[in-house]
Structure 1
Amino acid sequence: MTTPENHGGPAAPDGRGEAVSARSGASARQMSGGSKPGASRSGLRPEWRYSLPLFILGASWGLQFTLLKIAGDSDLNELAILTIAMFLLACAYLVVMACKVIWFRPSLSHLWFFLISAFFGFVVPLGAVILVAEQLSAGLIVFFESLTPVLTVVIVLLVGTERLNAPRLASVTLGMIGVLLVLWPDLTSPGSARMESLLLALIIPLAYAIDGVYVAARWPSDLDAFQVVTGEAIAATVMLLPFFLWQSFSSFEAMAALAAPWLHAPWGWGQWAVLAFVPVSFLEVYLYFYLLKQAGAVFVSIGSFIALFGGIFWGMLLLGERHSATVWIAVLLVSCALYLANFRATRPGEAKTEPAVVRVSD
């Protein structure tokens, strides 16, 4: 998702000084320059004052996928889950725009940007999460999503916007090894029921990586973060709504089957999970851009690690999930890959700077 987390996620700096979401996700063009803050009198870097919001950001990011896992595990229609979640999220963003009075008239280029970024930042990855929810644990879903920075490195290297160096090569290598460790038991077991879901789960980080690179390159300079994420949420809803309505009105029985779970009490865990997804995602988006503005993209990128372990924690706490030693080794390898993907080397004697932050309406 493109969030005020990614969309959907903690940011990883790219080589051009733009903040690219490590999830979905969301990317933002830098709006002004800035040097790395100095140490405080106590010796603690000023941005570490924001450690609690950063922890909440990572935890809420990981919780989103657990909530979608709960919804996808229920007997709710997958298209209904995604459409209703996006509609409610778009409404929440519109309320913020109304309160801030930051309405704008979108141009044709804005509309194309919203459609493309919504497709790769919301529709494809979140749809894939819901589809694999029955076969994969929440921890594994978050594991695959956490590969976004690694695949982002692969994409920028392929398109030639970044140069290959040792940290990036090591990041891609460790990420691939981590994925193979997770896939290997199913690859060596003919007829494995999970294999299709595991391969489908790889679409999640791929879509977020494409979205991050695209948004970083095409971010509208005349729009702020909430305007962009609102436009994306509305675009995602508009894309999904025709399919939802077509499925709903294809027959009376189909309409009744889709509407019944939402209109009749008591609600099950699936309906409540969809409803909870909206404020959790909104909080994540708000904290993402708040921290990006206050502490910089390098600090926010630490949230990638919190989100990875946070997602696994939520799955264990809420769903009673347990993971094998192989999965934990893969998680550690991907954690190293995340660090290397966010690694920015500086030449001897050159100051290391924070990427500039995005413009966020006050």
Structure 2
Amino acid sequence: MLTADERLEFKTARVIGASNQMTPRLNIQRNGRAWLLLGFMGILWGLSFSLAKMATEGGAHPIGINYWVCLIGAAVLISGSFILRRPLPLRRDVLIVCTVCGVLGSVIPGTAYFYAASRLSPGVLSITIATVPLMTFLAAAVLGVERVSTTRLLGVFLGVLSIALLIGPSTSLPDRSAVPWVLLAVSSALCYTAENLFVAIRMPADVNIYTIVGGMFLAATIIMTPLVVITGTFEPLPWPWGRSEWAILGMAAITVSAYGLFLYLIRYAGPVFASQTAYVVTLSGVIWGIMIFDDEHSLWVWLSLGVMMLALGLVTPRKDKSQLAAPPEHVNIP
């Protein structure tokens, strides 16, 4: 009789198309590919904070920047959906999800982050975005979706401490006027938390996720169109493109590609492994800021970063040893 581990190994090998057993070499290849994907995606996503700073420094208005990111994302994904013959279903449940996610995932937090990017360094901004998984766990625990443990609650506490280290000491930030913008960025993370929970509850199971994301960007674009017209914040992209225009296009490309890679990583290596992206995004956001803008941070900011990394480590669920060796059965791994 096979042991539980042997049955799992046999089952996994069958799923990915092996003969009747998982070889160590194949397992190493899967681990290596998953880590490469995680690293590449996290580094790419971390660059978006510096690009946001670059776009705002070029004089582009935060509302206009967010409008272009949503518009380009919608154009790419909606076009792809039609090419793949997976158009957005015009059903009530789908339209509600796209609209709510468009507001909670793009219109409000996107605009707020671009406002904050004009006042904060990319490194500080990347630390604030790390509060999203902490808030998501806390909200899910309150709703009874996630299991509560002392370790994970300690992680949430450390996340709060990390933000306190950013805004509390008088020498933490270069200018005390930046404190409200840190709080705005953290408050905006609540929108992403609400979006995560809404998606978990209301996401239609019969609609392709990329189609939904395209619909989300489309809804955000429709909502923001009258806003940019009324406020006069539309940003033309005249040729030849300058630093600000290239930054806007870069952020749009990252939004589409990194999000797609994240979804692929969830299916390839599992959600627990993919959740570790938060580490790479935050760290790379700080490093990109140093490389591009020569950012110099106080000791308090570095301490805040270290505490936030520890907080993420405590809140992230423990990784099952067989996770990379056993992808979900319904996923077709190339």
TM tier relative to shorter chain: 0.7 to 0.9
Larger gyration radius, structure 1 or structure 2:
2
- C-alpha deviation, 1:157, in angstroms: 2.3
1-structure distance, mates of 2:322, 2:243: 51
Could you tell me which of 280, 284, 297 is aligned with 2:254?
280
2-structure distance, mates of 1:231, 1:132: 26
**Counterparts in 2 of 1:170 and 1:112: CA distance versus 1, 3 Å:** same
- Matched residue, 1:132: 116
- C-alpha deviation, 1:246, in angstroms: 2.0
Matching of residues 16-31 of structure 1 within 5 Å: none
**Counterparts in 2 of 1:45 and 1:170: CA distance versus 1, 3 Å:** farther
- Tell me which moved more, 129-138 or 180-189: 180-189
- Matched residue, 2:181: 197
Contact 2:151-2:314 at 8 Å conserved across structures? yes
1-structure distance, mates of 2:312, 2:217: 27
TM-score, normalised with respect to structure 1: 0.78
- C-alpha deviation, 1:275, in angstroms: 1.2
Could you tell me which of 24, 38, 61 is aligned with 1:41?
24
**Counterparts in 2 of 1:186 and 1:235: CA distance versus 1, 3 Å:** farther
- Matched residue, 2:56: 72
- C-alpha deviation, 1:173, in angstroms: 1.2
Could you tell me which of 215, 230, 233 is aligned with 2:199?
215
Matching of residues 1-362 of structure 1 within 5 Å: 40-42=23-25, 44=28, 46-186=30-170, 192-248=176-232, 258=234, 262-263=237-238, 265-344=239-318, 356=328
- C-alpha deviation, 1:326, in angstroms: 1.5
Contact 1:39-1:45 at 8 Å conserved across structures? no
Number of positions where the alignment pairs a residue of Structure 1 with one of Structure 2 = 316
- C-alpha deviation, 1:294, in angstroms: 1.6
2-structure distance, mates of 1:237, 1:357: 36
TM-score, normalised with respect to structure 2: 0.84
**Counterparts in 2 of 1:133 and 1:104: CA distance versus 1, 3 Å:** closer
**Counterparts in 2 of 1:206 and 1:138: CA distance versus 1, 3 Å:** same
Q: State the AA in 1 paired with 2:128.
A: F
The one-character-per-residue Cα deviations of 1:53-88 (angstroms, maximum 9, x if unpaired) are 221110111112221121122211222111112101
Contact 2:272-2:318 at 8 Å conserved across structures? no
**Counterparts in 2 of 1:356 and 1:329: CA distance versus 1, 3 Å:** farther
User: Unpaired runs of 5+ in structure 1?
Assistant: 1-32, 249-253
Contact 1:85-1:274 at 8 Å conserved across structures? yes
Contact 2:78-2:87 at 8 Å conserved across structures? no
Q: State percent identity of aligned pairs.
A: 24
The one-character-per-residue Cα deviations of 1:235-272 (angstroms, maximum 9, x if unpaired) are 11111111112233xxxxx8xxx55x533x54332121
Contact 1:62-1:307 at 8 Å conserved across structures? yes
**Counterparts in 2 of 1:272 and 1:45: CA distance versus 1, 3 Å:** closer
Partner SS for 1:193: helix
2-structure distance, mates of 1:358, 1:332: 38
Contact 1:67-1:276 at 8 Å conserved across structures? yes
User: Unpaired runs of 5+ in structure 2?
Assistant: 1-10
CA RMSD of aligned residues (A): 3.1
2-structure distance, mates of 1:313, 1:358: 37
Partner SS for 1:202: helix
**Counterparts in 2 of 1:239 and 1:165: CA distance versus 1, 3 Å:** same
- C-alpha deviation, 1:149, in angstroms: 0.8
Contact 2:273-2:319 at 8 Å conserved across structures? no
